Chain A
């Protein structure tokens, strides 16, 4: 149960906080509990918020949330904070069988905890009203908010996927020079987009092997355990010194088998999960890239429309038509829309530039930690194995001459 945010907890700057104490907002997701039965069953989590932000109630607040609540929050943030890389959520589970395995629940809890904490420590996202709702509202309000979320604000994962695909194909097209650019022609940005897409492939492969490695540890543990059992039986058959030797070997094997299983779990939680998280983060960035493309398209389309309207307007001015006043009105509106579209687009560009720096820093830290845990775990396992076998050698020596 993680209490601290992985980014080092408090000490976050909130420009609106008037209190003398440094402002902080720290969240933890804990105590998963199975609710309901059968097909309707789901897991609920305890979300504890500790803060001194003025907009929040009290020093501490506890609410109960389920996975779909987290999804709601993610969607809202994605909608409202275009340009910012929204922290990724763990996947919606599709395999029934694993639904409530203890390991799966723990992995999900850890991922959700990381998710919320990243939001809480992001200087813009932490201001979000939706975040406040999520962290404080009672269950009924939460449920109402969730079910009300239809229409323009709700982006289903499938929509997102379609956007990803569009962006992906558009990038390829532009790269291959197939399509005429309704896209930005910003070489640096192009480079970034290519980077993101290639990065995803590399990461996915690394994560795949990391997951396999976890499995291999389990398999090795299993075979070593079975081997130990069989050796013990052989020892019982043999009897005498040799029998004892076999029994000792068997016992050690079984002991190491347990250690291997434990290391497999450690590897899963502390190495494979961070890698998976990295992959998810890159996917989230792809969403932001899609948003930026949208904003750019809107801006260009409006610019086109404004140009055409201007031509129209001038024509009408020359003809001194009655329609001219309406046309002027429309023109002014269009110009206002155009300005807004441009502002939106530019905000996204600015935010993305900041975000990418933050992202790279964050990932270096996250990966550094994952590597450290990986190496530590492997070293620990190897030492345990070496110690166990080493300790057996003098015993074998004495048995062989007895």
Chain B
């Protein structure tokens, strides 16, 4: 579930009769309702598919201001315009009221939000002066010169990655580099290896099917936005933003200097060759397990044997009658894990309901707009065909209602755009939960490695004891047996070393988990409170606006009230 961009919600801003509504000029003197389709006033783009931004803070010629929710191309421009947007309501409505002031103060807090949602990501409060801003632009097609079977065949897309930073490990404050999607995959894999136990943001999907099915331009744009979001999330993570891998990715010109994801097929072959040796590992002095490898999770190919052993161990853990040698004893951790699982479930539920809510808000706004339009047409009809004064009066009343309905409809649309922005946090955290699960998996894997090695050790020990017992019965010793015992002891020594490393690695990952959980709690607290406040202020503000629109009409028609 990676596709939690805003795109689904952007569609929410497009209406069937959108053109008609936009072309209505709502003058306050209410005299000219223009039902014609005027293309010149239709300049507010919809879901900015072309990537360009339309910011119309207070342009009087346009009936309403678009509040965009897409990620900006230009992060430097975005923060200022976002502060303007809440202020830029329909300039034909009342001037900014208290409601607007409250809006702005909530939106001003966005700079504090840590899991940077499309805006320039600031660092954690402790070092608030350094920054690392990234943008992804300018997709270009390039030729793959090495791997093409067909001359002039394989093409791929590269993106321009621009970084602005004042972090010391980077040489320079602004630089660019070209990367392709494969590079991103590599980056992501290397980070996963180096930062086990951390909540590492998930990279965008490979989307193989989509890349074939979608229009090229659309797909590239979708991918560009996803990449930008991903890199910004990496830059927002207090530990990962300082990583060597990210630095290399952002800074090093030319080919990405990170080891590519190993080709599984070739490693399988590799492993198959080595396997007989490994299975009869006793005959080789080199240990069955390379001590250094224990700090990596078991992978395909070379690590076949290790995978077999760890699998056997995990089965023993699950089904065996004896307790595994090292057990996850951290009760606090287990409690926390369960709680987070519940949390994830409820969050998913809320996220779904939030989507329905947004849809319902969109629908009601749409219907209000259509109702308004129907009344506009009716008004025009009655005024044109009026044979009696009562018709003229009715037409005037109707026009009031019609324009108010259209106004209310636009307010709903704006309300919804904001609601989407706020409630999107829920979706974001669903994504974060996935990263948490990955981090837990790192921990389990590391634990399994330790357990496997401990089993190995006890196994070796047992065999040594058996041999020693047998050898001692023979007078003068059994030369072959003695030699065997020496070999086993050597193996055990190496394995013990490996075990120690594995334990250290496990402890390290546990520590990472703990720190990350603390960080998550704090960020979640801040983010969700921000979301709640924003959502509530938003709802209140727009409701007040709508109330005043309708109160005006109610007053103007009070003469018709029942009993009056």
Contact = CB atoms under 8 A, between A and B. Distances in A.
A198 B381 contact: yes
B90 interface: no
A361 B533 contact: no
Interface in B536-564: 536-537, 539-541, 543-544, 546-547, 550-551, 553-554, 557-562
Contact of B350 (A199, A216, A230, A365): A230
Contact of B356 (A216, A226, A241): A226
A241 B525 CA distance: 9
B62 to A, nearest CB: 25
A396 interface: yes
Interface stretch (A133-141, A167-175, A202-210): A202-210
Given A360-B391, A371-B398, A400-B529, A209 B537 contact: no
A14 B563 CA distance: 24
B553 A246 contact: no
Contact of B349 (A192, A230, A365): A230
Nearest to B411: A382
Contact of B374 (A202, A219, A238, A374): A202
A373 B397 CA distance: 13
B371 A210 contact: yes
B528 interface: yes
B401 interface: yes
A213 B365 CA distance: 9
A24 to B, nearest CB: 18
B532 interface: yes
Contacts of B546: 378, 382
Interface SS, A side: helix
Interface string B437-470: 0000000000000000000000000000000000
Contacts of B562: 369, 373
Contacts of A382: 543-544, 546-547, 550
Interface in A159-212: 191-192, 195, 198-199, 202-203, 205-206, 208-210, 212
B252 interface: no
Contacts of A383: 543-544, 547
A132 interface: no
Given A227-B357, A230-B350, A237-B346, A386 B540 contact: yes
B356 A365 contact: no
A237 to B, nearest CB: 5
Interface in A362-380: 363-365, 367-369, 371-376, 378-379
A234 interface: yes
B356 A217 contact: no
B89 interface: no
Contacts of B347: 234
Nearest to A245: B532
Contacts of B352: 230
Contacts of B489: none
A373 B390 CA distance: 20
B378 A389 contact: no
Contacts of B541: 386
A361 B535 CA distance: 46
Given A213-B364, A230-B349, A392-B536, A361 B390 contact: yes
A152 interface: no
A203 B378 CA distance: 7
A223 B547 contact: no
Contacts of A198: 381, 385
B543 A209 contact: no
Question: Most chain-B CB neighbours within 10 Å: which of A206, A219, A223, A371?
Answer: A371
A206 B560 contact: no
B120 to A, nearest CB: 23
B198 interface: no
A73 interface: no
B559 A368 contact: yes
B393 interface: yes
- Chain A's interface size range is 35 or more
Interface in A208-252: 208-210, 212-213, 216-217, 219-220, 222-224, 226-227, 229-231, 233-234, 236-238, 241-242, 245-246, 249
B339 interface: yes
B540 A223 contact: no
B378 A206 contact: yes
A368 B349 CA distance: 44
A223 B359 contact: yes
B547 A372 contact: no
A18 B367 CA distance: 54
A390 interface: yes
B360 A216 contact: yes
Given A206-B374, A230-B346, A382-B543, A220 B360 contact: yes
Contacts of B544: 382-383, 386
Nearest to A229: B353
Interface in B466-489: none
A378 B550 contact: yes
Contacts of B539: 385-386, 389
Contacts of A199: 381
A96 interface: no
Contact of A386 (B401, B535, B547, B559): B547
B536 A375 contact: no
Contacts of B385: 191, 195, 198
A364 to B, nearest CB: 4
A39 interface: no
B390 A227 contact: no
B319 interface: no
Contacts of A216: 360, 363-364, 367
Contacts of A385: 539-540, 543
B554 A379 contact: yes
B217 to A, nearest CB: 35
B397 A364 contact: yes
Given A223-B357, A371-B401, A379-B554, A249 B532 contact: yes
A17 B387 CA distance: 35
Contacts of B359: 223
A79 B51 CA distance: 68
Contact of A245 (B357, B390, B529): B529
A192 B391 CA distance: 13
A246 B535 CA distance: 12
B536 A389 contact: yes
A95 interface: no
B370 A242 contact: no
Chain A to chain B: the 7 pairs with minimum beta-carbon distance, closest first:
A368-B560, A382-B547, A386-B543, A389-B540, A375-B553, A379-B550, A372-B557
